[in-house]
Each structure stands twice: as structure tokens, then as C-alpha cells.
Amino acid sequence: MSVFGKLDALPRVSLAHTPTPIEQLNNLGKALGGGHLYVKRDDCTGLAMGGNKARQLEYYFGEAVQQEADTILITGAVQSNFVRMAAAAAAKLDLACHIQLEERVSDAGANYHDSGNVLLDHILGATIHTYPDGEDEAGADANLQSIANELRLAGKRPYIIPLAMGHPPLGALGYIQAAIELKSQLKKSDFEIDQIFVASGSGSTHAGLLFGCRSLKWPIRITGVCVRRRREQQINRIEKRCHDISRLLDIENPVDSSDIEITDETFSPGYGKLNDQTLSAIKLCARREGLLLDPVYTGKAMAACLNHVRGTHKNQSTLFLHTGGTPGLFAYSPQLNPAN
Ligand SMILES: *Cc1c(COP(=O)(O)O)cnc(C)c1O
């Protein structure tokens, strides 16, 4: 069976508005003096302010519904978009949702703990737990397990959406679907693209997209931009994720290690921490294109994408995959407000 037959055989619920539009960023392209720049608007997937996690959650919630779960559990950073959209999907599917927020960003500003995604988590009615050490992935997972055990003792049927490695990467399947979608959109369009830039965090989006493109025998260059950890670690992670996808679908892995392109040029000083390049990218896209990015993921990814476009030839085309995250802007208002 082909990768697409395998995908269709897996349980899935519909959560994302797709296909997401592709737009050309004309003003930016001109301002940079480089090639053409396009954006695929996965920030517009609809679910509670949208983002890449809507596509990923279609497979997790598909499995949860199949298992007749009544409660969803998920862990993430305080300003996690994944957690916010999981709370929204749970509400939509009439399930309870417990979320665990991990302290990962040490010198966060005044709004970090109660605005942006956290505000939305509250509005969406999720039960909120906290975990003090956001670098301790195994500990955060173990704590989530113990919350699940308590729920089980109380007669609930919990389903955990895992973030750490070592679990079937169901979320990545949403980005195999996105690769199919993108290829068919480009086939109908009057332009081509030479390279894609995308934020690379847990790696589900990056690995899924890469796996999907190579399964389609499409050799498009895909550059992942580090937002969570350094390049060397991220390369390993994407390699493992691709391997895990091939195991999950029981098909051969079409991704070669030379396909995995990663830059961490805009990552410092670390996860969830702004730098000057990211701040400039956020302002530039807002002021030249009316396009909002976020401080944690897409601002950093776009900063690296802009560096690339500046250096490319006039007839080169680059596509930026906008993965969402815009509620995060409000969590960083002290650092982003030009009046401060
Ligand atoms: C989660 C997230 C990412 C990273 O996606 P992964 O699949 O975890 O690599 C990028 N951008 C935004 C806005 C996100 O919320």
C-alpha cells in the first residue's frame, strides 16, 4: 500500500480549515532585493486562532475518539499553542481537557503567565496543572501519567497526547497531508518554488513535510529553523522522527540524511527568548505585508528565511510555511511594544 493509502486507513477527525491559502509577499521581496517570497498560511487553519497544531491534532483526536476516551491530557510550555488548540479541539469534540504548563522560559515578562495562550486556555475551559521544570521532558511526561492515573481511578478514560520522543508521531501525519496539499496547489498555480522554510520544534511539522514531499518523489529543499534546541540535536531528532513515521506507517523511509537541512542562526539566546533579528522580522512582516508572526516560532523562522531571501538570486522562489502562534504576541507585549 502507498503512504497515502496507509494514511487514509488511520482514524482522523476534521479540525483544520484546508487547503490553507498561499500568498506572495511582494513588498518584502522587493524590499529585500532578492528573489520571490511566498507564504503558506497555516496560521489560518481556523481552530481557536489557528496554527500548525490543527493538522497534527486531527490524528491524535482521531485515535482518542476511536479509543472512546473522554478526557484529553497534554503538556507544553506555558505559552504552548499545541496545548491551546488541544483544549479547543477537546471542547469541539465534547471531551474534557487537562493541560500541564511547564516553566521553560526563565525571564518571561509580565504577561507571559496570564495573557496570550494562557488566557485562551482559561476561556476554553481546560483544567490547568503546572510543572516547574520545562527542560525535564521525561519528568513532565511522568507527571502527566500520574494525572492520567488519578483520572482512571476516578472512572475516566484519559488519552495522552505525547510530546517527547519514543511515541508514534501521529502529529507528523498531518504534515504528510500538507505536503500533498501543497504539491497540488502548486500544480494549479503559475509559479514554482525552490525552497521551503519552516520552524522546527518538536519536529513533527518539519519531519512530516519532508517525509510527505519525498514520498511524492518531490525533491524540494526544506530548511528547518531551530526554535527549541541547537542544530546538531535537531538533526538527530528529525532523523529519528522520519524513522518513526516509517515505522508507524510500515513503509520504507524515503528521507535521506542529506535531505535534512537545519539552521540555528536565529535561535539564540534560547527557546521562547526574543533576539533582535526576530524582533526586526516581526516588525518588517507586519509593516510591509500586514502579516503577523509570533515571538517564539515564526518570528525566528522568518528571520532565517529573510536572511536566505536577501542572498538569493532574483529568479529564486522561497516559500515560508507560517505555522501560527500569533496569540503569543500578547504574552510578550512588554518586549514587543515599540513604546517600551
Ligand atoms: C508548535 C509550533 C511550531 C513547531 O512545530 P513542531 O511540529 O513542534 O516542530 C512552530 N510554530 C508554531 C507557531 C508552533 O505552535
pLDDT tens digits, 102-136: 988 877 777 999 999 999 999 999 999 999 987 88
Name the pLDDT band for 138 (thresholds 50, 70, 90): confident
pLDDT recorded at residue 30? 87
pLDDT in tens, 56-96: 999 999 999 999 999 999 999 999 999 999 999 999 999 99
pLDDT in tens, 308-338: 999 888 889 999 999 999 999 999 999 998 7
Average pLDDT, rounded, for the chain: 95
Domain ranges of the chain: 3-51+169-336, 53-161
The atom number, within ligand 1, closest to the CA of 204 reads 7
Cis peptide before 169 (omega within 30 of 0): no
Cα(247) to centroid of ligand 1, in Å? 23
* Angstrom distances, CA of residue 323 to CA of 151, 250, 302, 320: 32, 28, 11, 9
Is pTM, for the whole model, over 0.95?
Answer: yes
Residue closest by Cα to atom 8 of ligand 1? 202
The atom number, within ligand 1, closest to the CA of 298 reads 11
Q: Which range is least confidently modeled, 34-38, 121-125, 286-290?
A: 34-38
Q: Is the pLDDT of residue 34 over 80?
A: no
Q: Is the pLDDT of residue 182 over 70?
A: yes
The strand pair at 96-102 and 127-131 is best described as parallel
Regarding the beta carbon of 115 and ligand 1, being less than 6 Å apart is answered no
Residue closest by Cα to atom 5 of ligand 1? 201
Regarding the beta carbon of 294 and ligand 1, being less than 6 Å apart is answered yes
**CATH code that applies to domain 3-51+169-336:** 3.40.50.1100
Query: What would the mean pLDDT of 260-279 be, rounded to a whole number?
Result: 97
Query: What would the mean pLDDT of 134-148 be, rounded to a whole number?
Result: 90
Regarding the beta carbon of 201 and ligand 1, being less than 6 Å apart is answered yes
Query: What would the mean pLDDT of 131-152 be, rounded to a whole number?
Result: 91
pLDDT recorded at residue 109? 77
The atom number, within ligand 1, closest to the CA of 80 reads 15
Cα(254) to centroid of ligand 1, in Å? 23
Regarding the beta carbon of 117 and ligand 1, being less than 6 Å apart is answered no
The atom number, within ligand 1, closest to the CA of 56 reads 7
User: Is it true that 3-51+169-336 and 53-161 share their CATH fold?
Assistant: yes
Q: Which of 2, 14, 80, 189 is catalytic?
A: 80
Cα(217) to centroid of ligand 1, in Å? 25
pLDDT in tens, 198-251: 999 999 999 999 999 999 999 999 999 999 999 999 999 999 999 999 999 999
Residue 49 has which C-alpha cell?
486562532
80 in active site: yes
Handedness of CA 5, 258, 295, 162 (dihedral sign): positive
> Which pairs with CB-CB distance under 8 Å and at least 24 residues apart come from 121-127?
121/83, 121/84, 121/87, 124/48, 124/84, 124/87, 124/88, 124/91, 124/97, 125/87, 125/91, 125/97, 126/83, 126/87, 126/90, 126/97, 126/98, 126/99, 127/96, 127/97, 127/98, 127/99
Q: Is the pLDDT of residue 340 over 70?
A: no
Which CATH code of 3.40.50.1980, 3.50.50.60, 3.40.50.1100, 3.30.70.270 fits the domain covering 53-161? 3.40.50.1100
240 versus 4: the higher-pLDDT residue is 240
Q: Which range is least confidently modeled, 108-112, 183-187, 291-295?
A: 108-112
Regarding the beta carbon of 81 and ligand 1, being less than 6 Å apart is answered yes
pLDDT in tens, 204-215: 999 999 999 999
Regarding the beta carbon of 224 and ligand 1, being less than 6 Å apart is answered no
Q: Are 127 and 99 in contact (CB under 8 A)?
A: yes
Regarding the beta carbon of 204 and ligand 1, being less than 6 Å apart is answered yes
